[in-house]
Chain A
């Protein structure tokens, strides 16, 4: 009985030592470097390499990015031969990083954890460090599609240190390592140089902790040629063709109404066909509004055809002929004018009416 008790005690002792042993096996990470009690400066840059996909309903952008960080930690200095730096990649770089001080940046507006594709750590004899890694990530966006397909968007990537407050660490933008990669290719978007904003703000969820942040704003401009050629031009053609009924006013009214309806239905079917290319957002975009206005105007054409026919029935043939002759020119002009007005309202930022449309 006594032996069992001793064995149990021994086992309990071993069990309780487990966490201590495993804690001791963790490498000790040195504290943040500091010079004259000033926050430690880390230069940081971000490159946009590729846009993989934009998920419009979930407002996320999947892309490939590169972050480069530069800092100088005297504790890492070593006697190098001819100033040759030490360079590590992949798992080797991870091992070294686990034992040294690291700024621990985090993308604040990430939708999921970034996946590091490639990394490289270089330590120079004087303690200067360059750490760069290429990663894929889903970034939360606040894209506004109101002006689709003539829209510009702003891709924002905000980085903060996950661990260090602003009294310990500040991020300084690195112009050299910021921008759009020369390898950047996108069928849908043109990307322009990024503006960078750095400062200090309260850490999200912490009432007393301030963190250094760095915000990259990359301007994206949609290539709208595809939408003009494949959607807008065919649609306007269908609707404008419906006005041809005013050129054949002597044909029976039911046939003329059928012609307008046929073009209208063709454009509806076409609209369904191209739906997959349109952003599914709960508000009206410019293209939606152009299409809706097209349907509305086609409806008015049917009303006009019937109204002119009524003039003929009541013996006012002169009005019937004149109405048709004028409308054959007036209808397409009004239609184009309405579409241009819609374009102008949406494209002009100053017109507050845009928010009513929204």
Chain B
């Protein structure tokens, strides 16, 4: 009888163990996507319908599509019209009232702010919504581990304003041996329409000019595709597009301070090629803003909206920044 009772107790333990294992597996599955996500869960409100018109950065197009789809899931009668032809069109589109929200992968320039102010009489409001890192990509076979800003300036620029060495044309010029010694560096970059082109130019080329033989690609995906197929090529793209077909090189101001493009280095800004992503809207305060636009921005700055940031392969904002940006929306 005692033996039977023991067996029963053991069975109970096994059952408890199994059920706790299942629960912990399920809950770890729930949390795997939410690492690094801060903010409150979005609360649905009544009476939200209509169209949100957005235009701007190609870098943010994936992210905006995720936001729009999630928002339409919450509010079936809400939809988006999104044009992703680059950040350049945003100031004009906002100034002529064509769009509600502009996606920009760099802060609006002084001249654009002046144009906007001339049109509306007040400054445009921009909020940070995510952090993007520009990753420098090489083929997976490439043994190089670290590139300094000066190295990249030497590779991509013909003006060398960021202290780049002249005549970096082969991988041997970056101290690689063997088959790499005389192999040419095949450079890929974005088209001038893209904000990534401008940001790379600003951060890496110190606003110098690109070499003529940099192959210009319309999208980050194209760059990754080319670099994954050509072992001697190099490219750059938003870190959100990174996948295992290419290798992201550590980047730093010097060889001793080279950092990988990851969350910690992005939020601390130790990785030098990080940038904040912005949404600009034309209204000066939430009183004059459409209800749907306010709710869309609230959703973006909520925990749910920031989950989409991770899903898009970008870096979420720290909690302190989110609360600052929320104040701008509810102003």
Contacts and interface: CB of A to CB of B under 8 A. Distances in A.
Interface of A: 152, 154, 166, 170, 172-173, 175, 178, 192-202, 210, 217, 219, 221, 350-353
A351 B29 contact: yes
6 contacts: A173-B81, A192-B77, A195-B72, A197-B84, A202-B219, A350-B30
A198 B51 CA distance: 15
Interface of B: 25-26, 29-30, 32-33, 51, 53, 58, 61, 64-65, 68-69, 72-73, 76-85, 193, 217-219, 221-222
Contacts of A210: 218
A173 B81 CA distance: 7
Given A219-B72, A353-B26, A195 B79 contact: yes
Contact of B82 (A154, A195, A200): A195
Given A175-B51, A221-B76, A350-B30, A170 B68 contact: no
A351 B84 contact: no
**Chain A's interface: helix, strand, loop or mixed, by majority?**
strand
Given A154-B69, A200-B219, A201-B219, A195 B77 contact: no
B219 A352 contact: no
A36 to B, nearest CB: 15
Contacts of A200: 58, 84-85, 193, 218-219
Contacts of B73: 152, 219
Given A193-B78, A195-B81, A202-B219, 7 more contacts: A175-B53, A195-B72, A196-B82, A198-B85, A199-B61, A199-B85, A202-B218
Max count, chain B CB within 10 A of own CB: residue among A195, A210, A353 = A195
B80 to A, nearest CB: 5
Contacts of B51: 175, 193
Contacts of B78: 193
Given A154-B69, A352-B30, A201 B76 contact: no
Contacts of A152: 73
Contacts of B68: 195, 197
Contacts of B84: 197-200
A241 B81 CA distance: 52
**Chain B's interface: helix, strand, loop or mixed, by majority?**
mixed
Nearest to B218: A210
Contacts of A196: 79-82
Contacts of B30: 350-352
Given A192-B77, A219-B76, A353-B26, A198 B83 contact: yes
A351 B79 contact: no
Given A198-B82, A353-B25, A193 B58 contact: no
B218 A192 contact: no
A202 B222 contact: yes
B268 to A, nearest CB: 29
A192 B61 contact: no
A199 B72 CA distance: 20
B1 to A, nearest CB: 13
A108 to B, nearest CB: 16
A193 B75 CA distance: 10
A202 B221 CA distance: 9
A351 B26 contact: yes
Q: Which 8 A-B pairs have the closest CB atoms?
A: A352-B29, A199-B84, A193-B79, A210-B218, A192-B76, A195-B79, A195-B80, A198-B83
Max count, chain B CB within 10 A of own CB: residue among A154, A166, A172, A201 = A201
Contacts of B61: 197, 199
B79 A194 contact: yes
A219 B65 CA distance: 13
A227 B18 CA distance: 34
Nearest to A213: B84
Nearest to A209: B218
Nearest to A218: B79
Nearest to A191: B76
B302 to A, nearest CB: 14
Contacts of B222: 202
B29 A199 contact: no
B83 A193 contact: no
Contact of A175 (B64, B72, B81, B219): B81
A219 B72 CA distance: 8
Contacts of A197: 61, 64-65, 68, 80, 82, 84
